[in-house]
Amino acid sequence: MKASALILIVGSALVLQVAAQLDPVCDSCPSKNCTYDKRLSCSCTGLNRTIEIVDPGDREYFNVSLGFVVDNTGSMRTEIASVKSSIQAVVTGTSGIFDKYVIGTYNDPYVANVFESTDASAINSFVSTINANAGGDCPEMAMHGIRDVADRLSPGSVIFLFTDASSKDLALEPDVKALLESKNIRLNVMATGNLCGMGAEFSRLTTATNGTIYRTPDKSDVDFVMNYIKNFAKYGIRFIRGMPTTLEDLKAIADGNCSCKTSIENLVCIEPPTKSCPCPEGFEHIVVKKKVCVPGPCKKHKYGSLGFVIDNTGSMAAEIFAVRAHIANIMANNTVFKDYVVATFGDPYKKNVIRSSDESVIQSFVNSISPSAGGDCPEFAMSGIEDAAKKARKNSVLVLFTDAAAKDASKLAAVKALLLAKNTKLFVIATGTFCGSGVYKGEFDDLAAASGGDVMTLTAKTSVSEVLDFLALAAAGKYSLRSFPRCLDDMRKMKPERCCKWVIHHKCKPIEPPCPLGYKRVTMRNKVCGSPNGCPRKRVGSLGFIIDDTGSMGAEIFAVRTHISAIMANNTVFKDYVVSRYGDPYVKNVIRSSDASAIQSFVNAIAPSGGGDCPEYAMSAIEDAAKEALENSVLILFTDAAAKDANMSADVAALLVSKKIKLYVIGTGQFCGPKVYKGEYDYLAAASGGSVMKLTAKTSVGEVLNFIGLAASGMTSFDSLPSTLEGLHGMPYQDNCWIEEISTCMCDCYDRP
**Domains in the chain with CATH codes:** 65-253 (3.40.50.410), 303-495 (3.40.50.410), 540-730 (3.40.50.410)
Q: pLDDT grade, residue 419 (50/70/90)?
A: very high
Least confident of 4-13, 111-120, 174-183: 4-13
What value does the mean pLDDT take over residues 67-92? 86
CB 406 within 8 A of CB 455: no
Q: pLDDT grade, residue 294 (50/70/90)?
A: low
Rg (CA), the chain: 28
CB within 8 A of 490, min separation 6: which ones?
A: none
What value does the mean pLDDT take over residues 99-122? 88
CB 152 within 8 A of CB 112: no
Query: Taking 90 as the threshold, does the pLDDT of residue 340 lie above it?
Result: yes
Q: Is the peptide bond before 516 cis (omega within 30 degrees of 0)?
A: no
Query: Taking 90 as the threshold, does the pLDDT of residue 70 lie above it?
Result: yes
CA atoms lying within 13 Å on the CB side of residue 313: 24
Query: Taking 50 as the threshold, does the pLDDT of residue 615 lie above it?
Result: yes
End-to-end CA distance of the chain: 19
Q: pLDDT grade, residue 290 (50/70/90)?
A: low
Query: 213-215 and 186-191: which strand pairing?
Result: parallel
What value does the mean pLDDT take over residues 312-337? 90
**Three-state DSSP class for 339?**
strand
CB within 8 A of 442, min separation 6: which ones?
A: none
Alpha-carbon distance 463 to 683, whole Å?
41
CA 359 to chain centre: 37
Alpha-carbon distance 661 to 635, whole Å?
7
Query: Taking 60 as the threshold, does the pLDDT of residue 734 lie above it?
Result: no
What value does the mean pLDDT take over residues 96-117? 86
How high is the mean pLDDT of the chain?
Answer: 79
Question: What's residue 55's pLDDT?
Answer: 34
Query: Taking 90 as the threshold, does the pLDDT of residue 543 lie above it?
Result: yes
Which one has a higher pLDDT value, 276 or 186? 186
Q: pLDDT grade, residue 96 (50/70/90)?
A: confident
Cα-based distances in Å from 673 to 64, 547, 667: 12, 20, 12
Each residue's pLDDT tens digit, 216-268: 766 667 777 777 776 666 555 555 665 666 666 666 665 555 555 555 655 66
Alpha-carbon distance 466 to 472, whole Å?
10
